[in-house]
Amino acid sequence: MLDLDSLPGDDLAVNLADTVMLAVSPSIDLLDDGHAKFWSAQALPEGASAPSPEQTRRLRSAVRELLEAVVAAREPEAWAVERVNAAAAAVPTSPRLIDGGAETCWHGEDGGEIALAAVAVAAIALVSGPRAAQLRRCGAHDCSMLFVAANSRRVWCTPSLCGNRVRVARHAAKS
């Protein structure tokens, strides 16, 4: 079974969307016992801290809807677009020159949640950019995880878990 330690890790928005397992009944919310662990494992902008579990779940539902819409080649629900846009707009950014180039500086001084804004910006970049065509749902029938397939032949979220289970089942069926 997938857990927070085995998320595919492709993208910040995908990571958040994958914290709920929808292919089982009832669904399993990996944030129930792992909210702080999830946020501590993410590459977040400087100054970001873990938002509340309620804020996290609220944005997760919107991000998941956006990503599912891309996978299903349909328009996302308007509420999801509005929620993601609001989260992205809640924390302004500015470019900052540094040695060897530039970086983005996040301004959460007015109470915006930098972590949520970073997820929203990642979701917007993913669904509106060239990587949207690489977004996939795991090919295992009992998995709902999403991933960005850098290789067009990739069909499982994690080859060592879902891919291995499918291969073992296929081998057992032949015997």
Q: What tokens were used for 53? A: 């579990």
For residue 1, is pLDDT > 60?
no
Mean pLDDT across the stretch 105-127? 93
Is residue 54 in a domain? yes
The pLDDT value given to residue 4: 57
Highest-confidence range of 5-9, 156-160, 162-166, by mean pLDDT?
A: 156-160
Q: Pairing between strand 135-137 and 101-106?
A: unpaired
Q: Mind listing the pLDDT tens digit for each residue in 65-115?
A: 999 999 999 999 999 999 999 999 999 999 999 998 999 999 988 888 999
Residue 119 covered by a domain: yes
Q: Is residue 104 part of a domain?
A: no
**What's the whole-number mean pLDDT along residues 111-139?**
94
Residue 120 has pLDDT above 90, yes or no: yes
Where residue 5 falls among pLDDT bands split at 50, 70, 90? Answer: low
3-state secondary structure the chain: CCCHHHCCCCCHHHHHHCCEECCCCCCEECHHHHHHHHHHCCCCCCCCCCCCHHHHHHHHHHHHHHHHHHHCCCCCCHHHHHHHHHHHHCCCEEEEEECCEEEEEECCCCCCCHHHHHHHHHHHHHHHCHHHHHEEECCCCCCCCEEECCCCCCCCCCHHHHHHHHHHHHHHHHC
pLDDT at 29 over 70: yes
**Domain-located, residue 18:** yes
Q: Does any domain span residue 55? A: yes
Choice between 25 and 54, residue whose per-residue pLDDT is larger: 54
- 5 belongs to a structural domain: no
pLDDT range class, residue 142, cuts 50, 70, 90: confident
The predicted structure's pLDDT at residue 88: 96
Question: What are the φ and ψ backbone dihedral angles of 116, each rounded to 5 degrees?
Answer: -65, -40
Q: Enter the pTM of the model.
A: 0.87
Domain tally for the chain? 1
Is residue 120 one of the residues assigned to a domain? yes
Average pLDDT of the residues in 131-149: 91
CATH value at residue 66:
1.10.3300.10
| Residue 10 confidence (pLDDT) | 67
pLDDT for 167 = 64
Determine contact, residues 14/146, Cβ cutoff 8 Å: yes
Distance CA 10, CA 153 (A): 16
Task: Decide if 107 is inside a domain.
Answer: no
Name the average pLDDT for the chain: 88
**Domain limits for position 23:** 12-87+113-173
